[in-house]
Chains A and B, each alone.
Chain A
């Protein structure tokens, strides 16, 4: 009964996972008749490559911008929606729309909005007397433009997770805090909402972090990592090396670096949730 599932799991998940690690110690290239074990040479090449460091730095910058912004805004929107009773489901629907809409199609819309001459954004900026940018073609702005799209897409998802967390906070806690002298919205938030949301927050931060490390669609369609590598990110570098140059061994080494970061985030999550965050 479990045979088909576990056969496929070994063939398509566990095997390839071990495979990618093994591959990273070889010089295999797609189509070449043979390969040899070259130890850590791929990693040496990688650590000596300027593009890798740029790619890693850009990925970390992207994560460092998107995660706090998408988490804070998601929380803010959830709190605002919960604080009143009117138009709740309207707002929830609107904020959730980007999660449903195919990101590739919406990236193309964003590209047109960011168009240097005919784009809406530059048009609006000129309307108030500001100079626009060639957002996606300028190395000073390309990565940040991608961050905005990332935040736009992740916000609604985080909002829904926070809404679920807020609903599960027992009403009595607010009453008890009120009796203990917690008056005003800020005191209620600081003493009840925020501590009770601890596990949700950890979960949302980690899941947004992992998704941000995986950023690829917008980069591939809008900038191809350019201009001059200013928006190059890990998975895009891996895609180019592994599937455009077919340097499978080197691409595998990049994948391993990506996996290490995802693993770190997962460990942070389990460490924090096991300690019962904010319950102390």
Chain B
């Protein structure tokens, strides 16, 4: 084989292999869309076809929205993920600034604690935090969904690393202008940290939009369900009969993040991997 031939053969093999893998990855997505677009009779037919003979996506979506309170689940998802992120930033940024730029006794010990806390898996603290919330009576509420995640050791670490790179002169100049230390955090440091903050925000929102374990533990009320709990409950109620609307509901639940990802892939991949150290 000439070298030219070899490049062509390799290029074909590369695409062939990658396409096979892509088919495996995409299969559930395609089957979800296909099933959500089929009427009941086609779903329970023996023949495999991806393109529905009669198109029933709108009917299935309407049924899904009629049977499960999907709008409410999406709203809960937005309220919970947004609250978590805002509180994480409010709490982590001053700490990150202090650890990066201020001199005080015990700074190294506190930073070591931050590094240690990054390693604590969320499942490990579930039972004690649950008992604590039971004691103070905030189970089954928005607070129960939000409070445990207001502290992000990882967020502190990430922002501290970023703040380290901000020149001291900038802070000195701000102090000369009579800006308080808290003012420096929000008016000087925050604007420089937008890229790091975006990455962390994407990481945080994706993690908590998709979280199932903690909401499952603390929630009882239907009206507080987050998107994953909502779709899981819908599936339990329909118990293997109504696959069209169920797949339509699945599309609705994954759509916000998937659409956002497709619109800003680079940022999302950066956000998930840079901050994926967790």
Flag if B29 contacts A101 (CB, 8 Å).
yes
CA distance A7 to B202 in the complex (A): 25
B129 to nearest A CB, angstroms? 5
Closest 7 pairs (CB-CB, A-B)? A19-B128, A5-B95, A16-B128, A16-B125, A104-B228, A8-B151, A105-B250
Q: Chain B: interface secondary structure?
A: helix
CA distance A15 to B117 in the complex (A): 11
Indicate whether A95 sits within 8 Å of B22 (C-beta atoms), given known contacts A1-B181, A207-B276: yes
- In chain A, what residue has the closest Cβ to B17? A80
Chain B residues whose C-beta falls within 8 Å of the C-beta of A242 in the assembled complex: 126-127, 130
> Residue-by-residue, is B180-194 near A (CB-CB < 8 Å gives 1, otherwise 0)?
011001000000000
Flag if B119 contacts A266 (CB, 8 Å).
yes
Contact with B150, one of A8, A14, A80, A94 (Cβ below 8 angstroms): A8
A20 interface residue per 8 A CB criterion? yes
> Residue-by-residue, is B95-139 near A (CB-CB < 8 Å gives 1, otherwise 0)?
101110010000000100110010111011111111110100000
CA distance A266 to B213 in the complex (A): 22
A255 to nearest B CB, angstroms? 6
B92 interface residue per 8 A CB criterion? yes
A147 interface residue per 8 A CB criterion? no
A11 to nearest B CB, angstroms? 8
- In chain A, what residue has the closest Cβ to B269? A160
Select the stretch in B40-48, B53-61, B167-175 that faces chain A. Answer: B40-48
Chain B residues whose C-beta falls within 8 Å of the C-beta of A101 in the assembled complex: 29, 254, 257-258
- In chain A, what residue has the closest Cβ to B26? A94
Chain A residues bordering chain B, tally (CB within 8 A): 81
Flag if B257 contacts A152 (CB, 8 Å).
no
- In chain B, what residue has the closest Cβ to A210? B121
CA distance A152 to B216 in the complex (A): 24
B198 interface residue per 8 A CB criterion? no
A259 interface residue per 8 A CB criterion? yes
A227 to nearest B CB, angstroms? 16
A199 interface residue per 8 A CB criterion? no
Flag if B273 contacts A108 (CB, 8 Å).
no
A176 interface residue per 8 A CB criterion? no
Indicate whether A20 sits within 8 Å of B127 (C-beta atoms), given known contacts A102-B253, A124-B48, A207-B276: yes
A161 interface residue per 8 A CB criterion? yes
CA distance A221 to B237 in the complex (A): 13
A77 to nearest B CB, angstroms? 6
Flag if B231 contacts A214 (CB, 8 Å).
no
- In chain B, what residue has the closest Cβ to A108? B235
Interface residues of A in 59-106 (CB under 8 A from B): 73, 77, 80-81, 83-84, 86-87, 89, 91-106
Flag if A110 contacts B28 (CB, 8 Å).
yes
Chain A residues whose C-beta falls within 8 Å of the C-beta of B258 in the assembled complex: 97, 100-101
CA distance A147 to B102 in the complex (A): 48
A210 to nearest B CB, angstroms? 7
CA distance A104 to B254 in the complex (A): 10
Query: Could you say which of A5, A23, A112, A248 has the most chain B C-beta atoms within 10 Å of its C-beta?
Result: A5
- In chain A, what residue has the closest Cβ to B210? A102
- In chain B, what residue has the closest Cβ to A113? B31
CA distance A173 to B11 in the complex (A): 24
Flag if B212 contacts A2 (CB, 8 Å).
no
Q: Chain A: interface secondary structure?
A: helix
CA distance A212 to B172 in the complex (A): 47
In the complex, besides A97-B25, A112-B31, 19 extra interface pairs with C-beta distance below 8 angstroms are A8-B91, A8-B150, A9-B117, A12-B148, A14-B113, A16-B128, A17-B128, A30-B131, A93-B262, A103-B212, A110-B28, A111-B235, A112-B243, A127-B48, A239-B213, A255-B123, A255-B126, A262-B119, A262-B124
Contact with B124, one of A80, A161, A258 (Cβ below 8 angstroms): A258
CA distance A87 to B265 in the complex (A): 14
Chain B residues whose C-beta falls within 8 Å of the C-beta of A155 in the assembled complex: 25
Flag if B212 contacts A217 (CB, 8 Å).
yes
Chain B residues whose C-beta falls within 8 Å of the C-beta of A96 in the assembled complex: 261, 265, 268-269
CA distance A142 to B221 in the complex (A): 31
Contact with B129, one of A12, A95, A127, A157 (Cβ below 8 angstroms): A12
Flag if B212 contacts A1 (CB, 8 Å).
no
Chain A residues whose C-beta falls within 8 Å of the C-beta of B4 in the assembled complex: none
B80 interface residue per 8 A CB criterion? no
A107 to nearest B CB, angstroms? 9
Chain B residues whose C-beta falls within 8 Å of the C-beta of A9 in the assembled complex: 113-114, 117, 151, 153
Chain B residues whose C-beta falls within 8 Å of the C-beta of A86 in the assembled complex: 11, 15
* 22 chain-A/chain-B pairs, Cβ below 8 angstroms: A12-B125, A16-B125, A16-B129, A19-B127, A20-B125, A80-B14, A84-B10, A84-B15, A87-B15, A94-B22, A94-B25, A95-B22, A102-B227, A104-B228, A104-B231, A108-B235, A112-B246, A124-B48, A160-B269, A221-B232, A252-B127, A259-B124
CA distance A55 to B214 in the complex (A): 21
- In chain B, what residue has the closest Cβ to A121? B27
